[in-house]
Amino acid sequence: MIFFVVMPVLFGFANYLIPLMIGARDMAFPRLNAFSFWMTAFGGLLLYFSLVGANGLYGAGNAPDVGWFAYAPLTSSTFSLGHSTDFWTLALLVSGFGSIGTAINIVATVLCVRCPGMTLAKMPLFAWLNLVMAGLVILAVSPLTAAQIMLLVDRYLGGHFFDTQAGGSAVIWMHFFWIFGHPEVYVLVLPAFAFASEIIPVFSRKPIFGYPVMVGATVAIGFISMSVWAHHMFTVGMGANVNTFFVISTMAIAVPTGIKIFNWLATMWGGKIEFTTPMLFCVGFLFQFLVAGLTGVMMSAAPFDWQLGNSYFVVAHFHYVIVGGILFCLFGAFYYWFPKMSGKMYSEALGKLHFWLFLIGFHLTFDFMHIPGLLGMPRRIYTYEPGRGWDTWNLIVTIGVFFQAAGILVFLGNLLWSYYRGRSAGNDPWDAWTRMVHQFPAPCI
Amino acid sequence: MNATSTTLAPPQLDWKLPERGRVGMYALIAAEAAIFTIFVVAYLFYIGKSLSGPLPSEVLSPPIFYTVCLLSSSLTIHFAGRSLQGGNVRSFGAWWLLTIVLAALFLYGTASEWHRLIYKEGLTITTNLFGTTYYSLVGLHGFHVVMGLLAMTTVMVFTIVGALKQEHVERIDVLSLYWHFVDAVWIVVFTVVYVIGR
């Protein structure tokens, strides 16, 4: 879902909005844009093909079954006899080229095709945040590409990069993967911050508080995020000194992130708040992302992580970030820009219904998921015996899913119906002061 | 609020943004640098850790001549660009051809070294950690040389048929940037493999 749902949607929004916001006709490299999209699409097709294609191991399909992090030596040709690892590697390699291509495009667009008079200091925060995100993609997805090439060398050319029998190291795969894997989550969250930074000011009827500090904090997050990766490896035995470094760097990244939360709150403070659907989702994001960040800081303490690593506490934490933080902002963004994209207004009543259904469902599922984690439920098990004390909590988690599903059905129905039958939205449906986007008539496609 | 008025940039506004080709190439170079860094880190980490087989000090000999060829090609590509900027397409063509020849020589050097290592010394990618990391790192670099060579050959064809003009100098400069990067990577690879690793 990270690679083929969230990233494509975020890149799509960037593709659509950045040129509009900086007064450009298109991205800097339109053909590279198309190439990058199709690379992502082919990567996705390759991945989904794995469910039905190639001769499966023991008669089953060949879908990747090595975890999203594909640890060595499970992925070596000795232990992964089928092609599941290869589908993982190739699908991500191909779509990774697409991601890097789009990132190069975003950097060139923001730096080179701004309209006259739009200095970097006057650029919308959306463009800044996507610029930093693109820089992170360039520096972080490339190590994954390198590691995947090494894995292919091991599996098909008889190499020994991760072959412990030959003196190689399985831990070095972990380092290479997480050097990608941690900045990746900032790649996911920075565009979500960008949405919030556009939506919250409009519905507080106040400009964003502390624009320069927001830019500075974003750049700081970009840099620090490249130095925290081994907090995913506290249980591997890197030694106290190395662990301590990563404890400190992980705690440090909470600081600029917290500054941003304070700035969003300060934007709302003293403003005239309008609780439209996008604003509801962004307020939900503020609270939930804060909680998610707090559970993250808890786990940044290595001894705490030793107890709770690989438990459902971790699963609850990162779903809280991605669903409670990123997805909420994404819903807000869909509602906020749908009138611009389609020229039609969506049903506000249905939008609010979606919000409340999803909010209840999200909290039923992911609040309560922390508890089995604390009680010791591990990740990646397909069943467990009753009487461990996890049963009721997991039942509540499941009930929450039905509410979320209902909310999403309402969302899809709303957008579909409004696209064809909604009332006309005009160029400036929110009476925002975003002049650059307004001058283009809706539907703006 | 209506936004029907258009605003023109004030005539005295000096608006000069960097060229998108250059910025795009720098971004690509950053991505490639990250990829090479991972391979270099793996190489350095695995120095001395092979359990068996030929050691670097036993079988490696620094390819000085071919390195000089590759690094000189950076110089010749620079002269090519300057010739084109001055409008001299013939001179550009000559320097460009020389660049291609030097790059091809470098590739020949790598190929002959690999032939010797495989058939005389018995070092392959599967032999030991040294073999795996050596062929991967030098091979990745060689792959990038091949890509650059293909691009340069395309430009050569355009030059021969007369389609290349002075106005294309910006694009030639962007391609030269890539080539300088490839040379810079070789300096790092050479140092890591033939100096530090031996």
- Please indicate whether, in this complex, the C-beta atoms of A161 and B136 are within 8 angstroms of each other: yes
- State both tokens at B126: 């599967």
Which chain B residue shows the shortest CA-CA distance from A141?
Answer: B31
* Interface A:B, Cβ pairs < 8 A: 121
Option in A111, A159, A166 nearest B17 (CB):
A111
Residue listed under structure tokens 């438990």: A311
Q: What is the pLDDT of residue A204?
A: 95
On whether the CB atoms of residues A281 and A328 are closer than 8 A, the answer is: yes
Distance of alpha carbon B169 from alpha carbon B173, whole angstroms: 6
- Please indicate whether, in this complex, the C-beta atoms of B31 and A161 are within 8 angstroms of each other: no
Find chain B residues with C-beta within 8 A of A138's C-beta.
27, 30-31, 34
Cα A263 from chain centroid?
21
Comparing CA positions, the residue from B165, B110, B177, B162 lying closest to residue B140 is B110
Q: Which of B1, B14, B38, B124 should be substituted to probe chain A, the one whose Cβ sees the most A Cβ atoms within 10 Å?
A: B38
Option in B19, B50, B124 nearest A112 (CB):
B19
Which chain B residue shows the shortest CA-CA distance from A437?
Answer: B3
Minimal C-alpha gap between A100 and chain B (Å): 8
Which chain B residue shows the shortest CA-CA distance from A166?
Answer: B51
Find chain B residues with C-beta within 8 A of A168's C-beta.
46, 49, 129, 132
On whether the CB atoms of residues B70 and B103 are closer than 8 A, the answer is: yes
Determine the CATH number of domain B20-196.
Answer: 1.20.120.80
Q: What is the pLDDT of residue B14?
A: 78
Minimal C-alpha gap between A338 and chain B (Å): 20
Residue listed under structure tokens 């339109």: A30
What would the DSSP string read from start to end of A48-95?
A: HHTTTSSPPGGGS-----STTTT-TTTTSTTT--SSHHHHHHHHHHHH
Comparing CA positions, the residue from A112, A110, A101 lying closest to residue A130 is A110
On whether the CB atoms of residues B130 and B54 are closer than 8 A, the answer is: yes
On whether the CB atoms of residues B4 and A427 are closer than 8 A, the answer is: no
* Other C-beta atoms lying within 10 Å of the C-beta of residue B1: 9
Comparing CA positions, the residue from A59, A120, A54 lying closest to residue A91 is A54
Minimal C-alpha gap between A289 and chain B (Å): 30
The pLDDT tens digits along chain A (445 residues) read 899 999 999 999 999 999 999 999 999 999 999 999 999 999 999 999 898 877 665 666 788 989 999 999 999 999 988 888 999 999 999 999 999 999 999 999 999 999 998 999 999 999 999 999 999 999 999 999 999 999 999 999 999 999 999 999 999 999 999 999 999 999 999 999 999 999 999 999 999 999 999 999 999 999 999 999 999 999 999 999 999 999 999 999 999 999 999 999 999 999 999 999 999 999 999 999 999 999 999 999 999 999 999 999 999 999 999 999 999 999 999 999 999 999 999 999 999 999 999 999 999 999 999 999 999 999 999 999 998 999 999 999 999 999 999 999 999 999 999 999 988 888 888 888 776 676 666 666 6
Q: What is the pLDDT of residue B1?
A: 43
Cα B88 from chain centroid?
25
- Cis? peptide before A73, omega within 30° of 0: yes
Which chain A residue shows the shortest CA-CA distance from B39?
Answer: A146
Residue A141: enclosing H or E segment and its boundaries?
helix A125-156
Q: What is the pLDDT of residue A439?
A: 66
Q: Which of A27, A99, A110, A111 should be substituted to probe chain B, the one whose Cβ sees the most B Cβ atoms within 10 Å?
A: A111
- Give ipTM to 2 decimals: 0.93
- Please indicate whether, in this complex, the C-beta atoms of A142 and B20 are within 8 angstroms of each other: no
Q: What is the pLDDT of residue A53?
A: 76
Find chain A residues with C-beta within 8 A of B48's C-beta.
none
- State both tokens at A338: 């749908």
What would the DSSP string read from start to end of A313-327?
A: HHHHHHHIIIIIIII
E strands present in B121-171: none
Which pTM value belongs to this model? 0.93
> CB of A424 within 8 Å of any CB in chain B?
no
Distance of alpha carbon A17 from alpha carbon A43, whole angstroms: 24
